[in-house]
Amino acid sequence: MRQKIVAGNWKMHCTVAETEALLKGLLEGKSQNDRATVVVCPPFTSLEAACNLLKGSHIRVGGQDMSEHPKGAFTGEVSAEMLLTLGVSFVILGHSERRQYHAESDNLINRKAKAALSAGLTPIICIGETLTEREAGQTEQVVGTQIDGVLAGFGAVELGKLVLAYEPVWAIGTGRTATPAMAQAVHRFIRERVSGINQDAAAKLPILYGGSVKADNARGLFEQPDIDGGLVGGASLKADEFIGIINAA
């Protein structure tokens, strides 16, 4: 059985003080689940505070992005080493908002993923289609192309060290959620596509669902055979709601 992962993507929310308050709420609540790995991904300005507060706890810390470069004249960028020195162990790559607002390509995400793996970080690589693409019946074409691009050059070893997250763009922050059956169908397709690289590694690969996951719909999603947890947005900013999702796993 694959380990469930529940990761909270806080996006551009939470000052340091707000980060500390939210994390204390998680630590004081029943946020520990032996069947699930719990990850929080605060903004860069709160990573150090989060790592210090969570040191020795059951909650892991992730970054929301990183550079493909180890160092250099890249204003505003953050390297894998910088994340590691804080105590970060995961990093989100290729989120739809990075693709949309910063024109990130599959090729760039692939290079970032290789840099993360080389440094020892676990990348959570995001893929997913827009509403226009879904309504045009292009979900598998779009998602398949993204998989081929972001995982180019990867073999069984690399697949064993990363996480995929299917996030239908039309369900992010909209309140619209794919039904468990709809999400499962795409997750099954993703696993089958990755099987083309290595079947055994694909069977063990954690694939998360991201798209308006909440405490009241998480269980139905997580019960699906190919859904291994969630990449949670807004609901991860409320301790009680996020704990409900963790418990659902």
Is residue 104 among the annotated active site residues?
A: no
Give, rounded to a whole angstrom, the gap between the first and last alpha carbons of the chain. Answer: 13
Tell me the pLDDT band of 243, cut-offs 50, 70 and 90: very high
Confidence of residue 78 (pLDDT cuts 50, 70, 90): very high
| Residue pLDDT, tens place only, 134-187 | 989 999 999 999 999 999 999 999 999 999 999 998 887 777 778 999 999 999
Q: Catalytic residue at 187?
A: no
Tell me the pLDDT tens digit for each residue of 199-215. 999 999 999 999 889 99
Helix 239-248 and helix 16-28, axial crossing angle in degrees, nearest 10 = 50
Looking at every residue in the chain, the average pLDDT score rounds to 96
pLDDT given at position 167:
94
- Single out the catalytic residue among 68, 158, 167, 241: 167
Give the CATH superfamily of 4-248: Aldolase class I (3.20.20.70)
Q: Three-state secondary structure along the chain?
A: CCCEEEEEECCCCCCHHHHHHHHHHHHHCCCCCCCEEEEEECCHHHHHHHHHHHCCCCEEEEECCCCCCCCCCCCCCCCHHHHHHHCCCEEEECCHHHHHHHCCCHHHHHHHHHHHHHHCCEEEEEECCCHHHHHCCCHHHHHHHHHHHHCCCCCHHHHCCCEEEECCHHHCCCCCCCCHHHHHHHHHHHHHHHHCCCHHHHHHCCEEECCCCCHHHHHHHHCCCCCCEEEECHHHHCHHHHHHHHHHC
Confidence of residue 95 (pLDDT cuts 50, 70, 90): very high
Q: Which of 68, 95, 104, 129 is catalytic?
A: 95
- Res 221 pLDDT > 80: yes
Please give the share of the chain, as a percent, with pLDDT higher than 70.
99
Query: What's the pLDDT score for residue 146?
Result: 98
> How high is the pLDDT of residue 178?
82
**pLDDT of 194 strictly over 90:** yes
Domain locations along the chain: 4-248
